[in-house]
Every structure is written in C-alpha cells, then in structure tokens.
A and B are shown apart, each in its own frame.
Chain A
Amino acid sequence: MKPSPFDYTAPSTVGEAVALLADEEREAKVVAGGQSLIPMLNMRLARPELLVDITRIPELGHLYVDEAGNLRIGAAVRQARAAADTAVQDGWPLLAAAIEHIGHPQIRNRGTVCGSLAHHDPAAELPSAALALDARFVITGPRGTRTVTAENFFVATFSTAVEADELLTEVVFPPLPADHGWAFEELTRRHGDFATVGVAVVLERSAGTGTVRAARVVFSGAAPVPVRLSAAEDALVGSDAGEQALAAAAGAALARLTPSDDIHATAEYRREGAAHLLVRACTTAWERC
C-alpha cells in the first residue's frame, strides 16, 4: 500500500523541530531512519499530517567520547555508522554487537540508534543493550531539556518517556571499567528477524579475589519493557561465575520472568530460552573479563 498524504519538512535546528512538533494545528511525527515508521505509513497504521525529518539537523549528527569518557550519540546517527565506529567497538563492544543483530545491513544503513530506542519495540535489541549499559537519554521539548535514566525511559510497548511534542536528541553511554566482560545473545528463527528473546550481560571482575564484583543482566522479548533481573545478578555477584552460580542465575530467570505467548513462541519456550541464553552469555562475558 501507499502512505496517506502528509507534508514533509527537514528543519535544520532542534529548536525548529520542537516548534513543529508542538504546533497543535497539525499532527506531526518525527522521522529519522524511517525503517519502522515508513512501513507503518505504507500500511496506513500511522497517518500523520506532517513528517519532521531530523536527519538533516547538524547538531544531532555527532558521535564522540566526551571529557568524562561518556559516549554520546546524536539522534541523526545511523546504526551502521555507530557499529563501525572504532570508539564504539573498543569502549562499548556490547552496543556494537547489539546493533549487528538488528535486521540486515540494508536496514542499518538507514535506521538510527535513537530511532530504535524511541520506537521501543519490546523485541528490539537496543533497548535492552541501553539498560544493560546504564544509558541516559537527553530529551528536548517545549518545556526544556531533561535527562532520563534507562530505568525510567522505557514505559510500555512502543512507548517511552519521550512525549509527542518532544525529541530524543541524544543517548549517552557512561564508560565501562577496563576489566568488564560482556555478551549479547538472542534466539531468532531466522537471521535478521526480531528476536524471540534475548539477553545482554555485563560482568565486572574484582582484581583481588577474581570473583564477580558487579553484574547487569537484562532480557529483551520477555516483557513489554526490557527486564533487568536483579535476582540473577545477585546469584552472580561474589561468585566465581562457575557452574553453581550460573545454575542459580538461570533458576532465577525461570522463576522470575513472565513472558507472554504469541504466534512466534509460547511463554514457556521463551522462559526456557532465556535461561539457556543467560548461561551462555554469562560464560562468554566472564571469559571476556
């Protein structure tokens, strides 16, 4: 099908973009890479009156590491560019790996990092990666600019802290300790599909005791929002990430996760899959520590 009619504009500043979004005369929608929005326009699931293209705003085209060591990715940055960036690959390899799991290269050449986060498909990779990496989200709107933590950013399926008249301008990833290990695992029916269930793991090794000092375990596809599972993290912290600790963490996943059934998989299948992925991911992460 073809989209219903709309107007299109590509402002050159964040201020102009926000003014267009706040204008109550017309129902406006942000378009970034268009890789989620244009299918919805083609199927007429979305019928905005105005598309505000933010990819031509110079102040949103940045990807750099600031003085405090944070990785800052602007809203116009495409997924392919972020995954190919050496600063990202060296400092935030989990993020690069998560991006490589998104669809196909042809999709990642257009889709943006922030667009995937703002869209928030519960099966998407970047929301769980962002929660595992403790990302912060910079949101600008008519009421000013605010920063939201990953815990508070994802609200429900296709819903985030970004209001209709606001723009996610930037996502910020704090630096990781040098001795961290990471893993990103997911279960998909075919390469490039949205995941049935996935897990992002970050482990830190304490130099003295050689045990797990800190752990972050986040599942995707297990609920309407990414799930950080502290019960699994508690089972890992203080351990040597050996068989017993991994079994306890997997047990926590089986006991605590409450995914739902859909045409792709039953809840039970997802839960079992999540527990297996967790063991595999923790093993890989620990090897990388």
Chain B
Amino acid sequence: MTPSVPTPLAARTPPLAEPSAWHEIALTVNGRPVTAQVESRLLLSDFLRDRLGLTGTHVGCEHGVCGACTVLVDDEPVRTCLTLAVQCGGAEIRTVEGLSPGDAPLTSVQRAFHECHGMQCGFCTPGFVMTATALTEQSDRPDKEQVANALSGHLCRCTGYRNIRRAVCQALDERFGE
C-alpha cells in the first residue's frame, strides 16, 4: 500500500479575504514611522500586538474597564481596546516597549515599580506604567487626588495597589522634587 500523500491545507490570505474595508495608515510608534494596511475594525490593541509584535500592551477586558491595554497616544493615556487603528493616522504612539529600548536604562517610573515591588504577575503593569509616565510628564506635579484619579482607571488583581501608588509617588518625587 502506498502511503497517501496528505493534501496541503490551504491557508487563507490573512484577513484580506474578510468582507471589510481596508485603509492605509501612517503613524509613529515608539519614535519609528509605520505604514500599514489595516482593516477598519482592527483595534489599536490588536494592531500593536499582532501586526507590530508589540505584545507588551496587554488585553484584559476589551471594553475599557481594566486599563491593561493603555498606551500613550499623542502623550495622553488612552484605551487601545476602545480605539480603532484606522483612527490613529498621524498619531504618535508610545508603548511600554518604547520606554527603555534595548540596553537603555529603565525610566524613573519603571525603576520605581521595580524598587517598590509595584507588580506581582505583571499583567496590569504596562498599563499602569504608561499612565504613570504621563503623570510624570505633566508640567506641574499632579496632586494626590489626580494621582488617585489616574490610577483608578486601572485594575490590578494581585498587589492591592499600595505598592503601585508608592511607586508612582516615588517617580513623581524624583521628577518634581519631594
């Protein structure tokens, strides 16, 4: 009996075959120019993770509640699960990968999370770090209420938040003086 030769499994051209419109977008991600064809319905979170391989941006709830997917769009923290990639033409996006690329030293925020034990499993961490980064970039020191407000947009199932708040305060002290 001759062994049967398995017939090849045809791979569908990735999503291009889907019945949805495609658009070309040009944007900047972590300081590097990017142009890409994206489907209208592609979420920015999936664009970053699946198309650019930037899997540091985590996806938890996909409806804006958990904050894990937060990145900076034009310097402001936003939910990538509630933003379409196609809406980001011309935008400047920063993800957690862009903070200390390669061998660059950790930023004050990253270092503070490390030193204050501001993470356990780390799933929520990229989101917190991006929101905290935006706080350190404000022209004036955010007050306690603003810090609490900003952090309230993120859920952490491990730490109990105390060390996260300590980390953010340490980074703010470093940036603005105590």
Contacts and interface: CB of A to CB of B under 8 A. Distances in A.
A110 B19 CA distance: 28
B interface, by DSSP: helix, strand, loop or mixed? mixed
Contacts of A8: 21, 23, 40, 84, 86-87
Interface in A1-41: 1-8, 10, 31, 34-35, 38-39, 41
B149 A39 contact: no
A191 interface: yes
Nearest to B134: A105
B40 A106 contact: no
B41 A109 contact: no
A104 B41 contact: no
Interface residues of B, number: 32
B152 interface: yes
A260 B82 CA distance: 30
B92 interface: no
Given A34-B84, A35-B82, A191-B149, A5 B64 contact: no
A53 B20 contact: no
Contacts of B77: 105-106, 109
Contacts of B19: 5
A80 interface: yes
Interface in A50-106: 51, 53, 55, 80, 100, 103-106
A61 B91 CA distance: 17
Interface string B77-111: 11101111011000000000000000000000000
Q: Which applies to chain A's interface (DSSP): helix, strand, loop or mixed?
A: loop
A192 interface: yes
Interface in B141-156: 148-150, 152-153
Given A42-B62, A42-B81, A104 B20 contact: no
A43 interface: yes
A237 interface: no
A34 B76 CA distance: 16
B39 A5 contact: yes
A35 B87 contact: no
B57 interface: no
Interface string B133-168: 000000000000000111011000000000000000
Contacts of B18: 5
B40 A5 contact: yes
A5 B41 CA distance: 6
A71 B78 CA distance: 27
Contacts of B20: 5-7
A2 B41 contact: yes
Contact of B40 (A7, A38, A55, A109): A7
Given A42-B63, A80-B76, A34 B83 contact: yes
A138 interface: no
B148 to A, nearest CB: 7
Given A107-B64, A109-B77, 18 more contacts: A1-B62, A2-B41, A2-B46, A3-B41, A5-B40, A8-B21, A34-B82, A38-B81, A38-B84, A53-B87, A103-B153, A104-B67, A104-B150, A104-B153, A106-B150, A190-B152, A191-B152, A192-B152
12 contacts: A2-B46, A3-B43, A5-B19, A5-B20, A6-B21, A6-B40, A34-B83, A38-B43, A38-B83, A103-B153, A104-B153, A106-B70
Closest 4 CB pairs of A and B: A104-B153, A5-B20, A8-B40, A7-B21
Interface of A: 1-8, 10, 31, 34-35, 38-39, 41-43, 51, 53, 55, 80, 100, 103-107, 109-110, 190-192
